[in-house]
Chain A
Amino acid sequence: GIQVEQSPPDLILQEGANSTLRCNFSDSVNNLQWFHQNPWGQLINLFYIPSGTKQNGRLSATTVATERYSLLYISSSQTTDSGVYFCAVTGGSYIPTFGRGTSLIVHP
């Protein structure tokens, strides 16, 4: 199956800082999503982005499908951005595969 690697595994920021999270995948995909899991366990959809670039407020994402990676940018981070960010991809089998996540802590 498809391998998904996320980096960095852990990230600590001061409020107001910018960051970039990366998701590498081992094969072509037809679906890629970024999620934020909050401290209560809820997964929040951030982006559905199999290719191209999207922006939503302070967050943006870019997927370069031909080079098999996606980036999630967080600008002007806030304490409420803390949590775990997951990348999930779906390939030809339509079975979603999650990365191990990036754990983000934003200090005030």
Chain B
Amino acid sequence: DAKTTQPPSMDCAEGRAANLPCNHSTISGNEYVYWYRQIHSQGPQYIIHGLKNNETNEMASLIITEDRKSSTLILPHATLRDTAVYYCIVKSGTYKYIFGTGTRLKVLA
């Protein structure tokens, strides 16, 4: 599975959009991009996933570049409760997630 690179930390003002980047330059054609987040003292929580097209659900939007070498998770209106570590994972249809160290997002009041 492809390796991902994320910035270690980011800040975002409450109510503004949070844009979390992820580089996955070695991604292969059948590999999906997944995003999970982990709020303090909780287990990781699924947010969204995509293959080629941009995706949106009630939590977030996922923008994948045309060459699929990078993606951005967008939280449109960040709240204090979105403060968490966000993990970008690239994997194929197998079960194995390989978590990196993620991006620690702090939403500021």
Do A and B come from the same complex? no
Q: Which residues of B contact A (CB under 8 A)?
A: none
Q: Which residues of A contact B (CB under 8 A)?
A: none
